[in-house]
A and B are shown apart, each in its own frame.
Chain A
Amino acid sequence: MNAAVKPPQNHVERARTMPLADIDVSDITLYQQDALAPYFERLRREAPVHWCKNSLYGGYWSITRYHDIVAIDTNHKQFSSDHTNGSFVLDDTTLNAVEGGIAMPNFLGMDPPTHDDHRMAVSPIMAPANLLRFESLIRSRTKDLFDSLPLGQTFNWVEQVSIPLTTMMLATLLDFPFEDRARLTRWSDIVTTRPGYGLVDSWEQRTAELMDCLGYFQTLREQRQKLPPKADLISMLAHSPAMQGMTPTDFLGMLVLLIVGGNDTTRSSMSGSAMAAHLYPDEFAKAKADPALLASLVPEVIRWQTPIAHMRRTAIEDVEFRGQQIKKGDKVVMWYLSGNRDETVIERPDDFIADRANARRHLSFGFGIHRCLGNRLAEMQIKVLWEEMLGRYSKIEVVDAPLRVPSNLIHGYLDIQTRLHA
């Protein structure tokens, strides 16, 4: 039986009746409870460009309809990503030196022309020849991993599948010492957190760990500089003429972008894969019977999960948008999580449908010049994952309520207790 996930009933009622002005879709407890859907639904219908006056991050605009998000995402001349104007995430402390945060500028947080120079320094890693090289590696690692998983016993899918596969991939992209790769996972997690969410106890601790990350990679970069250029991200940065003047701050900024972008995102789509397989066994069976459906199933998983809940821009001038007066300096949040559930654009948006028509039309990679750089690699990783899931199992069962990441940015899971059936 197919059944869309139902949000907690108390939230359905609260979202329907509370004053519109009081809705705060950045509230992290809503993400932990998977309770966002009714709030976003109301905003899309009644206030698609919505001002929330008070939040942990101050006032911010929410953009919740699909086409409005595309319009903002492609208008970088008025809605800037540049770190000098604000940030590309709602929480300024994530990448800027405010409160206890530290500055970690990177090209996702830059406007052209600097954006283009920095992006082009690393984009060759995703060239077709490299993707081809990665595919066989991804397949052998995925097969080995599934060979080691128990049948009929419960285990945490996030820890046993999503994290190992994405961390191995990231280690390969960076040519990072394989035995130390767990450190990548840790650094990835602490970039997007604040003290008090279970990962770090203080800003000082977060800063100290990020400085360890910088130091580790500075050593790697010095080593790569002395070697001939190779097709790994650190070597590319070490040899790129445009990147020679990088300050330690710029280098750390670039690193955290590559680490989070190359890790947390696909990790969440892999975790979402287990959830989709569990909640929609008919769709799982459909795809098992016809593997050609992977062409639509893969983008559908990425839409359905929406691993990055939002991206933010900052208005650099006063703009009237859909009748609302957005002021210079205002934070403008594009909720991909909502746009990917926009019922006026996507049919039955809450449902995971393996053979969805136009499955590629989703917001998860963003649009415009900041569109995800690793989208094809992410799709390849998810495709290989599903080939193994469909080839090996009749059913993937989630036996307990999952534990979700306490974040309004990283839309993922900490724990999914899973049982595999032959």
Chain B
Amino acid sequence: MPKITYITSSGVEHVVDADSGISAMQAAVSHRVPGIDGDCGGVAACGTCHVWVDPSWLDRVGPARPGIESEMLALTDGRTPCSRLACQIELADAHDGLLLQMPTDQH
């Protein structure tokens, strides 16, 4: 069970014991982390689970994939090379300690 830390735009940390195999969006929504909406249910189709992966984690998590994830991120506020849709990050034990920063608002 990896421990994932979601950090809100005002700096509040929400630490979640997530199940391996689910997405970082599902882990946040099921633990009621405010700031991750996940309106489309996890198919990279709404852009409401935008997170910035902590740079120290980026090589392990990987950058946004080409196709719909990148296309949706292009339309969000504040896209950076660390931007991912949390629904496209499948969690594994190796993600224990992962830090995900959240934007002010999800569209």
Is residue A128 contacting chain B, with contact meaning CB distance below 8 A?
yes
Q: Which of B37, B46, B105, B107 contacts A367 (CB 8 A)?
A: B46
Is residue B104 contacting chain A, with contact meaning CB distance below 8 A?
yes
- Find the B residue at minimum CB distance from A345: B41
Is residue B54 contacting chain A, with contact meaning CB distance below 8 A?
no
- A360 contacts B39, C-beta separation under 8 Å: yes
Task: Report how far A368 CA is from B104 CA in the complex, Å.
Answer: 21
Task: Report how far A126 CA is from B43 CA in the complex, Å.
Answer: 23
Chain B residues contacting A73 (CB-CB under 8 Å) are 45
Q: Restricting to B30-60, which residues have a CB under 8 Å from any CB of A?
A: 37-41, 43-47
With both chains docked as a complex, state the minimum distance between the C-beta of B68 and any C-beta of chain A, in angstroms: 6
Is residue A361 contacting chain B, with contact meaning CB distance below 8 A?
yes
With both chains docked as a complex, state the minimum distance between the C-beta of B13 and any C-beta of chain A, in angstroms: 20
- B40 contacts A112, C-beta separation under 8 Å: no
Contact with A along B1-45 (1 / 0, CB 8 A): 000000000000000000000000000000000000111110111
Q: A123-B75, A371-B46 are in contact. Are A128 and B104 (CB under 8 A)?
A: yes
Interface of B is mostly: loop
Chain B residues contacting A369 (CB-CB under 8 Å) are 71-72, 75
- Find the B residue at minimum CB distance from A124: B77
Chain B residues contacting A367 (CB-CB under 8 Å) are 40, 43, 45-46
Q: Which of A74, A120, A123 contacts B68 (CB 8 A)?
A: A74
Task: Report how far A368 CA is from B70 CA in the complex, Å.
Answer: 11
Is residue B74 contacting chain A, with contact meaning CB distance below 8 A?
yes
Is residue A421 contacting chain B, with contact meaning CB distance below 8 A?
no
- B43 contacts A116, C-beta separation under 8 Å: no
- A116 contacts B75, C-beta separation under 8 Å: yes
Chain A residues contacting B72 (CB-CB under 8 Å) are 368-369
Binding site for B on A (CB under 8 A): 70, 73-74, 112, 116, 119-120, 123, 126-128, 131, 360-361, 365, 367-369, 371, 373, 375-376
Binding site for A on B (CB under 8 A): 37-41, 43-47, 68, 71-72, 74-75, 77, 104-105, 107
Nearest 5 CB-CB pairings of A with B: A367-B45, A128-B105, A128-B104, A360-B39, A74-B45
